[in-house]
């Protein structure tokens, strides 16, 4: 049943609710996408593709771990505590592009029955190939394209497999090329491995992006005390609840820099409907949940929608009412009231 108070708008795109199933391995197979749709997500971003065979092969070298607060590896399932850290290597969908495109277009047609949008996702490798694929995505009748130029793995992957774009000028070049080729809405996913995230977002919007997804996961190294080697052998993409304040900070700073008319989508750190609300208060029109769904199951999406629904109902508010409210009331340190010698209350006695 439609709930108008949960509706959100990302530029020209209307979603029935702000909870988006973000791209990850559990959205490679068609049945995984269907499960996300049935769980009530407002949109589902399928596992990304590009033309690189090396990027596909990287999936076959992928490995995954979840760690407790003592950095001990624990079971990969819903029993993991909320504080757990997810760490992994990953890769792109193993499907050939034509098969991926046919499957994605079919799923998006099916999703209309559930008032859901299935979003195609392309990770940049070579720009001309990305433009060609974007054209084919539009020709296949898909309604939204997510252009991922912020994957965390480019520095660790084979040369040219994927892209982590760190320069606004380069982002403007990429997005302009894709925008010139297609008319459907483009969500640009950018990296969090930069102190210039708002500048990267500004470049994406200036070149014609309809929304910006922020921000891609960070890279980390976790030494194993027994082997004295890196966990899983290498640098990993890491995520967890600790990432939520970082995402909210980038959302707030970007909203402050670009104004209210630039739709932002939060990602990394949300584990519940209340976390979705937190990111919305920081400036997100919608929020992607990916690794936590992969870890805990598709029911997490339904729970997040219901929890956000209950939060808004309790306050008598619509989803759109809360977007950016915390960001817009954020003060600088210089504006805070004096609390004379308050520091003395927070040191060991």
Selection from 239, 283, 330, 288 nearest residue 117 by Cα: 288
Q: Taking 90 as the threshold, does the pLDDT of residue 159 lie above it?
A: no
Helices 97-111 and 30-38: crossing angle in degrees, nearest 10, is 20
The residue among 256 and 157 whose pLDDT is bigger is 256
Per-residue pLDDT tens digits for 290-347: 999 999 999 999 999 999 999 999 999 999 999 999 999 999 999 999 999 999 999 9
pLDDT, averaged across the chain:
94
Mean pLDDT over residues 259-271, rounded? Answer: 95
What is the per-residue pLDDT for 282?
Answer: 98
The full DSSP string for 3-21 is -GGG-EEETTEEESSSEEE
Query: What integer pLDDT is reported at residue 162 of this predicted model?
Result: 61
The span from the CA of 234 to the CA of 121, in Å, is 26
Q: What is the rounded average pLDDT of the residues 172-199? A: 94
Q: Is the pLDDT of residue 157 over 70?
A: no
- Length of the chain (residues): 349
Classified as helix, coil or strand, 73 is: strand
Rounded to two decimals, what is the model's pTM? 0.95
The torsion defined by the Cα of 283, 287, 292 and 293, in degrees rounded to 10, comes to: 170
Torsion of CA 196, 198, 203, 204, to 10 degrees: 120
The mean pLDDT of 166-178, rounded to a whole number, is 93
Q: Are 329 and 295 in contact (CB under 8 A)?
A: no
- pLDDT for residue 139: 98
Query: What pLDDT shows up at residue 156?
Result: 61
Superfamily of domain 4-346, CATH level 4 = Aldolase class I (3.20.20.70)
Q: How do residues 76-88 score in pLDDT, each as one tens digit?
A: 999 999 999 999 9
3-class SS letters over 103-122: HHHHHHHHHHHHCCEEEEEE
Confidence of residue 110 (pLDDT cuts 50, 70, 90): very high
Q: Strand 211-214 vs strand 186-189: parallel, antiparallel, or unpaired?
A: parallel
pLDDT grade, residue 23 (50/70/90)?
A: very high
Location of structure tokens 């470049």: 203
Residue 155 is predicted with a pLDDT of 60
Per-residue confidence (pLDDT) for residue 158, from 0 to 100: 54
Q: Which residues contact 340 (CB under 8 A, 6 or more apart)?
A: none
Q: Which helix (H) or strand (E) holds 154?
A: none
- Report domain extents, the chain: 4-346
Cα 245 to the chain's mean position, in Å? 14
The mean per-residue pLDDT over the stretch 131-159 comes to 86
* Phi-psi group of 269: left, alpha or beta (phi > 0 → left; psi -120 to 50 → alpha; rest → beta): left
Q: CA-CA-CA-CA torsion for 112, 307, 325, 343, nearest 10 degrees?
A: -150
DSSP letter for 35, please.
H
- Of 33-42, 112-121, 211-220, least confident by mean pLDDT is 211-220
The secondary structure element, H or E, covering residue 266 is strand 264-267
195-239 per-position pLDDT tens digit? 899 999 999 999 999 999 998 889 999 999 999 999 999 999 999
């Amino acid at each position: 049943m439609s709930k108008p108070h949960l509706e959100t708008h990302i530029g020209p795109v209307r979603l029935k609710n702000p909870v988006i199933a973000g791209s990850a391995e559990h959205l490679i197979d068609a049945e995984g996408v269907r499960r996300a749709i049935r769980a009530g997500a407002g949109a589902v971003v399928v596992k990304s593709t590009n033309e690189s065979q090396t990027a596909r092969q990287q999936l076959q070298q992928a490995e995954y771990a979840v760690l407790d607060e003592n950095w001990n590896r624990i079971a990969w399932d819903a029993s993991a505590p909320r504080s757990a850290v997810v760490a992994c290597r990953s890769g792109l969908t193993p499907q050939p592009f034509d098969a991926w495109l046919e499957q994605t277009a079919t799923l998006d047609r099916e999703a209309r029955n559930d008032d859901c949008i299935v979003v195609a996702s392309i990770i940049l490798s070579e720009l001309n190939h990305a433009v060609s694929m974007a054209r084919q995505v539009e020709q296949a009748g898909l309604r939204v394209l997510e252009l991922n130029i912020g994957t965390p793995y480019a520095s660790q992957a084979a040369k040219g497999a994927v892209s982590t774009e760190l320069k606004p000028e380069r982002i403007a070049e990429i997005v302009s090329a894709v925008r010139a080729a297609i008319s459907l809405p483009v969500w640009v996913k950018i990296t969090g491995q930069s102190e210039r995230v708002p500048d990267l977002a500004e470049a994406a919007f200036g070149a014609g992006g309809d929304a910006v997804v922020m921000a891609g996961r960070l890279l980390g190294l976790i030494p194993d005390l027994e082997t004295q080697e890196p966990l899983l052998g290498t640098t990993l993409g890491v995520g967890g609840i600790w990432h939520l304040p970082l995402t909210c900070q980038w959302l707030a700073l970007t909203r402050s820099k670009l104004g209210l008319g630039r739709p932002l989508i939060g990602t990394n750190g949300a584990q519940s409907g209340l976390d979705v609300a937190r990111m919305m208060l920081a400036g997100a029109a919608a929020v992607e949940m990916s690794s936590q769904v992969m870890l805990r199951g598709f029911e997490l999406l339904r729970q997040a929608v219901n929890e956000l629904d209950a939060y808004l109902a309790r306050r008598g508010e619509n989803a759109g009412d809360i977007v950016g409210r915390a960001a817009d009331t954020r003060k600088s340190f210089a504006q805070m009231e004096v609390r004379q010698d308050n520091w003395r209350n927070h040191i060991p006695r």
